Amino acid sequence: MNLRALYPGMAVQSRSNAYVKAPDAGYPPWMNRVRLTLTLAMLCVTSGGRSEMNSRSTFSAATQRDVMALRAAAQSSDYSYEQVRFLCNSIGPRLSGSQQAAAAVDYVKRQMMDLGFEVKLEPVTVRHWVRGQEEAQLTRYPGQVPGTSQKIVVTALGNAVATPPDGITAPIIVVNTFDEFDRLSTNTVKGKIVLFNHPFDEFAALAGRAEQAYESAVKYRSQGPARAAEKGALAALVRSVGPGGSRLAHTGTTKYRQGGPQIAAGAVTAEDADLIAALAVRGEVEIHLLLTPRDLPPAQSYNVIVDLKGSQHPEQIVIVSGHLDSWDLGTGAIDDASGVGVAMDVLRIIKQVNPRPARTIRFVAWMNEENGVAGGRGYAEDYKSELPKHIAAIELDFGDGRPLGLKVHASAEKLESLSGVLHAIGDSIGGVLTVEDSPGVDLSPMDELGVPTIAPLQDTRHYFDYHHTAADTFDKVRIDELRQNLEIICSLVYTLAQKEDGSSEPAPQ
């Protein structure tokens, strides 16, 4: 894909400290099967009578007028941006179970009530993991000046267990891939600390393939510590899943095998991983590692749910959503106050333009996306019998970056029924991409039960620079890009809810 075709008029940014391409950076097979229709077609609106938005979908003059009004309101709205500001700057980090997560639930509830909505809090029991001390130093390494040590920037991985209270001091083994790790004997690994040094493919990210770069690296974070534990390692470190450049540690969950051994696990920065790897080539490197996270008893929390009731088919539902919890290092601005702010604004604007759409539009602020997905799972369970009447579910969870198309996952039959609306909206910004899994983590449980899931395909070239770091803060959010997402998601949600496209009529139950 030509970068300039994807990002017309935008300068291609580069860094002087470019990182090398990951040695086995394979991309998921769905990338080869995608259908990305590039088109310059814009929503075509005429006054009076029915006219085509594109060749595959027709909308009444009233709906077209409404869409124009929604777009105009979105283009000048400050509301989403101000929600993000409050969630980040006044409430702060919102890790599941924290007082701030509870404050965020209460805040969104009150805001939506101020807009005249009834609010439902759906109870969700969440894991309450808290970070502790985080320290690391190289205590022995080739060329060491006597009496010195080297500080290593480290952060605990989410849901990981602690080191002993005095920490662990042990030699490090560096591997780049699981293949390399699998070739090591248990004797070699036993008693050591394993560093999975798999680089995030920054070039792929800059070329518009950030999600694939993430997928190819994140497995070391999610599975590496469990695999190291099974070979007797004392602890595991992973290279942060994100580009280097600012010496930022990126947290994120890791997963132990059920019933398997559990060891302390942290992420070191790309710069520190490079340093350790370079020293290890020359001789033994020993590290002292102290990580003291812990699990508190599970906490009561909530998904925040608000309906704009449908006038003709209230039982048929279109979901628009983001997740309210965040990691604790930053303030969760791009991940995911941006998504929540836009989703709130979608409901606000649609209510202003047409308070009685044909179908119900449901806003959801999910809880616990980051370290358990209890909110998404709970919803699929609690609303199981109603899921066949869910027309589609949308989640925004890739920051503020402007939309370049739509991503969708649905059965062939449901895809066909939605395609008129999807292309009418998606083709105006770049196309419709058919993906193999739910494009939103919180939507996965209902996706598995057959609900079509949709997300904007956003500009994520720099999303992973800050993702899950201390630098995910409000200043990263650009109001103009947020408004572009708002505009496109308002149009999409509304046209899905208007049920005018004959082909989007759901099959009789």
Interacting residues with Zn ion (CB under 5 A): 335-336, 397
Question: Three-state DSSP class for 177?
Answer: coil
Cβ partners under 8 Å of residue 341, min gap 6:
79, 80, 81, 82, 83, 84, 87, 322, 482
Concatenated DSSP letters for 255-307?
A: -PPTTS---EEEEE-HHHHHHHHHHHHHS--EEEEEE--EEEEEEEEEEEEEE
| Identity of the residue, 336 or 465, whose beta carbon is nearer to Zn ion in the bound complex | 336
CB neighbours of residue 423 within 10 Å:
21
Q: Compute the radius of gyration of the chain from its Cα atoms.
A: 24
Report the DSSP pairing between strands 313-323 and 359-366. parallel
At its nearest, how many Å lie between Zn ion and the CB of residue 155? 17
At its nearest, how many Å lie between Zn ion and the CB of residue 398? 8
| Identity of the residue, 201 or 336, whose beta carbon is nearer to Zn ion in the bound complex | 336
Report the DSSP pairing between strands 286-291 and 193-196. unpaired
In 160-253, DSSP assigns E strands to: 168-175, 193-196, 235-239
At its nearest, how many Å lie between Zn ion and the CB of residue 468? 9
Concatenated DSSP letters for 152-215?
A: --EEEPBTPBPPPTT-EEEEEEEESSHHHHHTS-HHHHTTSEEEE-----HHHIIIIIHHHHHH
At its nearest, how many Å lie between Zn ion and the CB of residue 336? 4
At its nearest, how many Å lie between Zn ion and the CB of residue 249? 18
Rounded to the nearest 10°, the torsion over CA 172, 176, 182, 188 is -20
At its nearest, how many Å lie between Zn ion and the CB of residue 335? 4
Question: Three-state DSSP class for 171?
Answer: strand
| Identity of the residue, 272 or 336, whose beta carbon is nearer to Zn ion in the bound complex | 336
| Identity of the residue, 269 or 338, whose beta carbon is nearer to Zn ion in the bound complex | 338
| Identity of the residue, 228 or 324, whose beta carbon is nearer to Zn ion in the bound complex | 324
- Nearest Cα neighbor of 395 from 489, 495, 491, 506 is 489
At its nearest, how many Å lie between Zn ion and the CB of residue 4? 29
| Identity of the residue, 91 or 138, whose beta carbon is nearer to Zn ion in the bound complex | 91
Distance CA 108, CA 86 (A): 10
At its nearest, how many Å lie between Zn ion and the CB of residue 293? 20
Question: Three-state DSSP class for 359?
Answer: strand
Q: Would you say how long the chain is, in residues?
A: 509
| Identity of the residue, 66 or 397, whose beta carbon is nearer to Zn ion in the bound complex | 397
Tokens of 82: 């101000």
| Identity of the residue, 228 or 340, whose beta carbon is nearer to Zn ion in the bound complex | 340
